[in-house]
Amino acid sequence: MQKKESIKKEWNDAAESWVDFVRQGKDYYRDELNNPATFRLIGDVRDRLVLDLACGEGYNTRILARKGAKVIGVDFSEKMIELAKREEAKEKRGIYYHVLDATDLKGFSSNYFDIVACFMSLQDIEKYKRAISEVARVLRIWGRFVFSVPHPCFGTIIADGERTSTAKRYFGAIKYPIQWEMERLVKPFRTTSFHRTLTDYFDVLYRSRLFVVRLVEPRPTRKGLQKYPPLREVLVRPQSVIIESVKCNGSEDFSKP
Ligand SMILES: C[S@@+](CC[C@H](N)C(=O)[O-])C[C@H]1O[C@@H](n2cnc3c(N)ncnc32)[C@H](O)[C@@H]1O
């Protein structure tokens, strides 16, 4: 059984290459597909207190800050947080970063944040049920949790040593390795992800009293389609899904009509 420490080490080892990938505009699925849709869904964040959960080196954390949010970014990778802090030191945006595991947001009071955002990371968090219950704890009532994950129905996973489409092998949670070896990376790296069904995610949200209000399957931008031909695939089959949920106050009774 792979330990949490070794998954974290993978991200620490990946951090330098990840920074180049993200900051040099090489992550076009982010810039031309997922970010435009996710930030549209998040909406106006001016003066909102936002937690960027599993923030990596802080690319999207900085976007939130530029949009006027008061942002705190957390990630369990010390290296990612070091690189994020270095960027904050170069240009101050009022962002606070902490090395924290998403499953234990100690230090944050309950009912604290207006919004928790988790960009393309929940699939990498092993104990996602615990993480979602922590999100529910730190959100204020009517606060929103917005997260994106690779689309559970249309991904590629490694199951029994074989690359398989999740359209063919959907049911059953599974842990699998990802080899990041695209040419545009300065150095290849490996990480670990977890395939789960939509039902798995929705069940935990429901049990944490985070009620789903919107779901988006992003489409590429016009500019992205012109510049990056692989994005054309996303015109017929989604690459990701973004889910917005709201923390209810616990007194609602949905069992009655
Ligand atoms: C695919 S990266 C995305 C990073 C960032 N959200 C972004 O959009 O650039 C996934 C991140 O999840 C972090 N991560 C994985 N498991 C975690 C955990 N249990 N607690 C906190 N962060 C975690 C990794 O360190 C990595 O930075």
Is 171 part of a structural domain of the chain? no
Q: What is the largest CA-CA distance in the chain?
A: 57
Condensed to tens digits (0 to 9), the pLDDT of residues 197-249 reads 999 999 999 999 999 999 999 999 999 999 999 999 999 999 999 999 999 98
Q: Which of 60, 58, 51, 38 lies closest to 247, judged by CA? A: 51
Mean of pLDDT values over 164-169: 94
> Given this model, what pLDDT does residue 209 score?
96
Q: What backbone torsions phi and psi does residue 223 show, to the nearest 5 degrees? A: -60, -45
Helix or strand or coil: residue 193?
strand
What stretches of the chain show up as alpha helix (H) in DSSP? 4-23, 28-29, 35-42, 59-66, 78-90, 128-138, 198-207, 222-227
Query: What residues form DSSP beta bridges with 97?
Result: 73
Q: How far is the CA of 197 from the centre of ligand 1 (A)?
A: 19
Evaluate if residue 253 carries a pLDDT over 90: no
> Given this model, what pLDDT does residue 250 score?
73
> Given this model, what pLDDT does residue 190 score?
97
> Given this model, what pLDDT does residue 160 score?
87
Cα distances (angstroms) measured from residue 130 to each of 56, 95, 173: 19, 25, 16
For residue 185, the one-letter residue type is L
> Given this model, what pLDDT does residue 249 score?
82
56 contacts 121 by C-beta, under 8 angstroms: yes
For residue 75, the one-letter residue type is D
Is 28 part of a structural domain of the chain? yes
Residue nearest to atom 1 of ligand 1 (CA): 121
> Given this model, what pLDDT does residue 4 score?
76
Is 176 part of a structural domain of the chain? no
Mean of pLDDT values over 136-159: 97
Give the residue, out of 61, 124, 185, with the most ligand 1 atoms within 8 A of its beta carbon, to mutate for a pocket test.
124
> Given this model, what pLDDT does residue 121 score?
98
238: which DSSP letter? -
- Strand 240-247 versus strand 210-216 pairing type: antiparallel
What's the number of domains the chain is made of? 1
Q: How confident is residue 3, by pLDDT bands cut at 50, 70 and 90? A: confident
Condensed to tens digits (0 to 9), the pLDDT of residues 88-131 reads 999 999 999 999 999 999 889 999 999 999 999 999 999 999 99
Is 113 part of a structural domain of the chain? yes
pTM comes to 0.96
The percent helix, strand, coil of the chain (3-state, each to 5) is 35, 25, 35
Atom of ligand 1 nearest to the CA of 30: 8
Give the residue, out of 76, 104, 242, with the most ligand 1 atoms within 8 A of its beta carbon, to mutate for a pocket test.
76
> Given this model, what pLDDT does residue 2 score?
63
Q: How far is the CA of 220 from the centre of ligand 1 (A)?
A: 23
Is 157 part of a structural domain of the chain? no
Q: How far is the CA of 223 from the centre of ligand 1 (A)?
A: 27
List, in order, residues 6 or more apart from 213 with CB less than 8 Å away.
244, 245, 246
Residue nearest to atom 10 of ligand 1 (CA): 121
Q: How confident is residue 255, by pLDDT bands cut at 50, 70 and 90? A: low
Condensed to tens digits (0 to 9), the pLDDT of residues 10-43 reads 999 999 999 999 999 999 999 999 999 999 999 9
Q: Which domain holds residue 116?
A: 4-151+197-247
Cα(130)–Cα(101) distance, integer angstroms: 10
- Does 56 sit in the ligand 1 pocket, CB within 6 Å? yes
> Given this model, what pLDDT does residue 199 score?
98
Cα(237)–Cα(219) distance, integer angstroms: 9
> Given this model, what pLDDT does residue 254 score?
60
Is 27 part of a structural domain of the chain? yes
Is 175 part of a structural domain of the chain? no
Query: Which CATH number does the domain housing residue 95 bear?
Result: 3.40.50.150
Mean of pLDDT values over 33-58: 98
What tokens appear for 81 in the block? 């947080």
Q: How far is the CA of 75 from the centre of ligand 1 (A)?
A: 6
- Does 146 sit in the ligand 1 pocket, CB within 6 Å? no
Mean of pLDDT values over 160-184: 94
Evaluate if residue 68 carries a pLDDT over 90: yes
> Given this model, what pLDDT does residue 164 score?
95
Is 211 part of a structural domain of the chain? yes
